[in-house]
Structure 1
Amino acid sequence: MSILLLSSEDVRECADMANVIPAVEDAFEAYEQGTAQMPAKSYVELAKYNGDFRAMPAYMDVGDWDAAGIKWVNVHPDNPDKHALPTVMGTVVYSDPETALPLAIMDGTELTMKRTGAAAAVATDYLAVEDATTLGIIGAGVQSYSQVEAISEIRPIDEIVVSDLDDERVEEFIDHFGDDFTVRRGDIPEAASCDVLSTVTPVREPIVSRDDLGDHTHVNAMGADAEGKQELADEILLEAKLVIDDHAQTTHSGEINVPYAAGRLTDEDIFGDIGEIVVGEKDGRIADDSITVFDSTGLAIQDIAAARETYQSAKGNGSGYQFDLLESDR
């Protein structure tokens, strides 16, 4: 039985954002409607190596299609210095739900960046002002690129303000996007006053204050992915229409985890899940809204929805490498 092996380059080429965004939106809808299964992320702690493995399985049925798979991802902070490897790496096994046959094994690191950008785009579509043309980026690392790629698909972005302490990262970012957008470096208040703001930093102390934001800024809080991390001041979270992707994950390791654990923010301060807005159970942006915030931790359903789109595209254009994992007569 032939299986498709997809490298990071294959995923980058085949995970077209125009298709990944609606797939991730479908995943949010399926999760909200109860037609998706997503067991809690499980951890294998590796104290000996200062790292861990994380298993993220999911299945979803959106009516026209269904998909299943698992992402196996690590966090090893010592990798860059000791082994010249990334801190985070991932592999996705995408399977046929009917037969359980693995259809593809693909790079999960690139896929994670794509689906994370797509999640921000879905939230931006429902929560940002319709005529948003300016995008602020705080943190010019690799994830910032997919934020621009995705958000510019659903809003007419023409100006980007990027803020980062690393001069080289800022220059690389400006060089990359300078032909397609007006891009300039700014401080945090300049970036945060844009129509849409994406924060993609690993900080453990808030760096964005309420005064930094514009009157109607929508914020995609993407950086917090572990206990103790927080990019936005409590005042922002308490004032905003606050939307999350998953209650268990966001309260444990999302943007709201610190004030939630301290009791400064409660369930009463959370407007709802993004899935509730996607299916129409709750409103997205309305005329009376000022600032809105999407707390994104990243869900396995997003990975598998994006994996399906990547697989379909790769199969259609002949990308990747075919190999046999199972004997066909068994």
Structure 2
Amino acid sequence: MDTLLLDATVVEKNARMDPLIGAMEDAFAAYERGDVRMPAKSYIDLPQYEGDFRSMPAYLDAGDWDAAGIKWVNVHTRNPSEYGLPTVMGTMIYSDPETAVPLAIMDGTELTRNRTGAAAAVATDHLAVEDARSMGIVGAGAQADTQLEAIATVRPIEEVVVSDLDEDRIEQFIDAFENQFSVRAGTPAEAAACDVCSTVTPVKDPIVTREMVGDRTHINAMGADAAGKHELTDDLLLDAKVVIDDFEQCTHSGEINVPWSAGILDEGDVYGEIGEIVVGKKPGRIEDDGITIFDSTGLAIQDVAAAHVVYEAAHANDDGHSFDLLGLSE
């Protein structure tokens, strides 16, 4: 059996949001049911290069389908300034769980962007008000586009406020979406006052405070992916209904990691994991909820689920480059 090589352009073409969002729900549900195998993310630190590698393997059984794979991803902070390369790059190996044949090798960076947006959409669908029409985005970097694209799939978004320190990023974002939404630049406070807000920054000093946030706002806290990162103030977290993707990852490197380590937050301040809501063990948004927050660290099962969607679509569309990686062809 041949292996498909899928570059970033092909991944983007086949990463359609509707099936991706459904696959993310399937993955969160499988995790809650215990139908996954997901070892802890492993790190190789390379301080001499101001970087690290991370490996994220997983298997999941979603009932109607199952899938396995591993993502190899890096964070090298000197890349843009010294080498003209992205800070973060990734490669995904997607395998047949039954035979272990590598079905595809695909760009993991574009895959991550889209699955992260889809995960935020799942949380938004369960936690945001039904009539959410405004969306704020704090941080107009690589993740911003798919946050809007995904969330607009589950809510009737009309107005978008984007905030970033880089004016060029804001301009590029507005140019990309001004024909679809009423989109404008704004402050973090204006973005946080919207019905839905996604924060996608790498900051360690919180930039969104309780006073900024609307009384019924849902926040997707997507930026924290390492110990010490912290986008939302502690009083905001304490005043909100907080939902996480995974207890171990979130307490170590998610949005709650700093106040958790300081003893400001504890288990009583966390409502539950998103999988519990997806399978119906706990309700999502209820009538008297005020602010809701989704703390997303990103799980390997999300990458595998997204790779499943992309591979199936690319295979059906005859996209990508097919080659005999294993040398089994006659």
Normalised-by-shorter TM-score class: over 0.9
The corresponding residue for 1:119 is: 119
- Distance in 2 (CA, whole Å) between partners of 1:171 and 1:116 is 23
Q: Give the drift of 1:142.
A: 1.3
* Residue identity opposite 2:169 in structure 1: R
The corresponding residue for 2:170 is: 170
The corresponding residue for 2:100 is: 100
- Distance in 1 (CA, whole Å) between partners of 2:75 and 2:188 is 28
Matches for 1:3-152 after TM superposition, within 5 Å: 3-152=3-152
The corresponding residue for 1:264 is: 264
- Distance in 2 (CA, whole Å) between partners of 1:299 and 1:53 is 16
CA distances 1:147-179 after superposition (whole Å, capped 9, x unpaired): 001000000001101111111111111110000
Structure 1 window deviating more from structure 2 (298-307 vs 165-174): it is 165-174
The corresponding residue for 1:232 is: 232
Structure 1 window deviating more from structure 2 (77-86 vs 239-248): it is 77-86
Query: What SS does structure 2 have at the residue aligned with 1:168?
Result: helix
CA distances 1:244-288 after superposition (whole Å, capped 9, x unpaired): 000111111110010000000111100000000000001100001
Q: Give the drift of 1:47.
A: 2.6
The corresponding residue for 1:310 is: 310
Query: What SS does structure 2 have at the residue aligned with 1:135?
Result: strand
Matches for 1:150-299 after TM superposition, within 5 Å: 150-299=150-299
- Distance in 1 (CA, whole Å) between partners of 2:94 and 2:8 is 15
Q: Give the drift of 1:86.
A: 0.8
- Distance in 2 (CA, whole Å) between partners of 1:162 and 1:327 is 49
* Residue identity opposite 1:148 in structure 2: L
- Distance in 1 (CA, whole Å) between partners of 2:46 and 2:224 is 22
Structure 1 window deviating more from structure 2 (319-328 vs 152-161): it is 319-328
Q: Give the drift of 1:48.
A: 2.7
Query: What SS does structure 1 have at the residue aligned with 2:268?
Result: helix
- Distance in 2 (CA, whole Å) between partners of 1:147 and 1:236 is 21
Q: Give the drift of 1:329.
A: 6.7
- Distance in 1 (CA, whole Å) between partners of 2:77 and 2:328 is 41
- Distance in 2 (CA, whole Å) between partners of 1:258 and 1:64 is 39
- Distance in 1 (CA, whole Å) between partners of 2:126 and 2:8 is 30
Percent of pairs with identical residues: 65
Pairs aligned (count): 330
CA distances 1:170-224 after superposition (whole Å, capped 9, x unpaired): 1111110000000011111111110000001111111111110111000000011
- Distance in 2 (CA, whole Å) between partners of 1:20 and 1:87 is 25
Query: What SS does structure 2 have at the residue aligned with 1:268?
Result: helix
Query: What SS does structure 2 have at the residue aligned with 1:142?
Result: coil
Please give the root-mean-square deviation of Cα atoms over the aligned residues, in Å: 1.0
CA distances 1:97-141 after superposition (whole Å, capped 9, x unpaired): 000000000000000000000000000000000010000011111
CA distances 1:272-328 after superposition (whole Å, capped 9, x unpaired): 000000000011000010000000000000000000000000001111000111132
* Residue identity opposite 1:235 in structure 2: D
Give the ranges of 4+ consecutive aligned residues of structure 1 lying more than 4 Å apart after TM superposition: none
Runs of 5+ unmatched residues, structure 1? none
Runs of 5+ unmatched residues, structure 2? none
* Residue identity opposite 1:241 in structure 2: K
Query: What SS does structure 1 have at the residue aligned with 2:125?
Result: helix
- Distance in 1 (CA, whole Å) between partners of 2:273 and 2:237 is 15
- Distance in 2 (CA, whole Å) between partners of 1:49 and 1:217 is 40
Query: What SS does structure 2 have at the residue aligned with 1:4?
Result: strand
* Residue identity opposite 1:305 in structure 2: A
* Residue identity opposite 1:83 in structure 2: Y
- Distance in 2 (CA, whole Å) between partners of 1:204 and 1:35 is 35
* Residue identity opposite 2:317 in structure 1: N
